[in-house]
Amino acid sequence: MSRPYIAVIGRDESGRFIPIEGRPYHDKEWLEEMYIRQHLSTNVIGEICQVSPTTIRYFINKFKINIRSCNTLNRVVPIKDENWCKRISEAKKGHLAWNKGIPRKAETKKKVSKGLEKFHKNNPNFQRGPNNHRWKGGITPEDIQIRSSKKYIDWRKAVYARDEYVCVKCGDNKGGNLSAHHVLSFRDYPEERFALDNGVTLCVPCHNEVY
């Protein structure tokens, strides 16, 4: 069945939409064409059909057409087929991004950092474990996972801070040379892994002596 009214929407000399007779909005395909593909708002479609936006919305709901959020109403969205990314990539080749070489302002950095912090708080598993594209199926041993966790890093920092970043055995206080030793071993006393009392600051040579 051909639908002659699926066509470019015309405007008169004063820029107004030329109305369409015959209630085309009763037709799901027409409405989809206008609302989804031509990206017109319910206001504009209403104007074309000489009915209220509410009427248009009623039919959009009736036909179960996906409703857009308000902020996309006026944006022109190109139809993305399988070659879309390729074409854009080709077209953009050699162009410099508008912000290339312009450092972010401190204020902006702060905003971004705050935003990310909030995001990760709300999405604690974002790109972690199976959600990460590099996930190899849980081959990381459990203790390596724990040792790289924030909780563990916090524990180590707390141990260092309590010992004032000095090896308790030899007094070495050179930076970057310290490790936190578990008095009751990490492996055998899982319940003591994060106990501050169970940690002592040792330099690497002294830590090697302990084992």
Contact positions vs Zn ion (CB under 5 A): 167, 169-170, 172, 203, 206
Least CB distance from residue 117 to Zn ion, whole Å? 36
145-152 CB contacts, 8 Å cutoff, 24+ apart: 146/193, 151/194, 152/193, 152/194
Structure tokens at 6: 């699926």
User: Cβ closer to Zn ion: 60 or 203?
Assistant: 203
- Strands 199-203 and 178-182 come out as antiparallel
User: Cβ closer to Zn ion: 58 or 165?
Assistant: 165
Least CB distance from residue 126 to Zn ion, whole Å? 39
Least CB distance from residue 177 to Zn ion, whole Å? 8
User: Cβ closer to Zn ion: 32 or 163?
Assistant: 163
* Residue 19: DSSP 8-state: P
The candidate with the shortest Cα–Cα distance to 143, out of 184, 189, 187, 179, is: 187
- φ/ψ of 199, rounded to 5, equals -115, 140
User: Cβ closer to Zn ion: 112 or 183?
Assistant: 183
Terminal Cα distance for the chain, rounded: 83
- What's the number of CA atoms in the CB half-sphere (13 Å) around residue 119? 8
Least CB distance from residue 152 to Zn ion, whole Å? 21
Least CB distance from residue 181 to Zn ion, whole Å? 10
**Measured in whole angstroms, how far is the alpha carbon of residue 36 from the centre of its chain?**
25
User: Cβ closer to Zn ion: 140 or 208?
Assistant: 208
